[in-house]
Amino acid sequence: MENVKDFIIDYIQKEYTIPDDIDIINLNFVEEGYVDSLGLVQFIYTIEDEFGISFSDDDLQNPDIKVVGKLIAIVESKMEAGKQ
């Protein structure tokens, strides 16, 4: 299994054209127009499948889920919580 950061960044760069000069960790990929709401839902399902986690409705309402670095932290936290 790929690490969370690499998986998320690779997915976004593969699916959407992100210029090299963009700070991808701080990128709000929804507000900047790279991912629409349907794309976000598909991305979340892909993450859930890849890492064996689930996002709650509250998670999906959290604006942090739209920022690459914050999304990475959320996924890592859920994975860590699942190990306990």
Q: Domains of the chain: which residue ranges?
A: 4-83
Query: Taking residues 48-59, what's their average pLDDT?
Result: 95
Query: Taking residues 37-45, what's their average pLDDT?
Result: 92
Residues of the chain above pLDDT 90, percent: 77
Q: What is the pLDDT of residue 2?
A: 66
Q: What's the whole-number average pLDDT of the chain?
A: 91
Alpha-carbon distance of 50 to 34, in angstroms, equals 21
- The token pair at 40 is 């976000």
Higher pLDDT: 5 or 17? It is 5
Instruction: Output the DSSP codes for 41-55.
Output: HHHHHHHHHHHT---
Neighbouring residues of 39: CB distance < 8 A, sequence distance ≥ 6: 15
- CATH, domain range 4-83: 1.10.1200.10
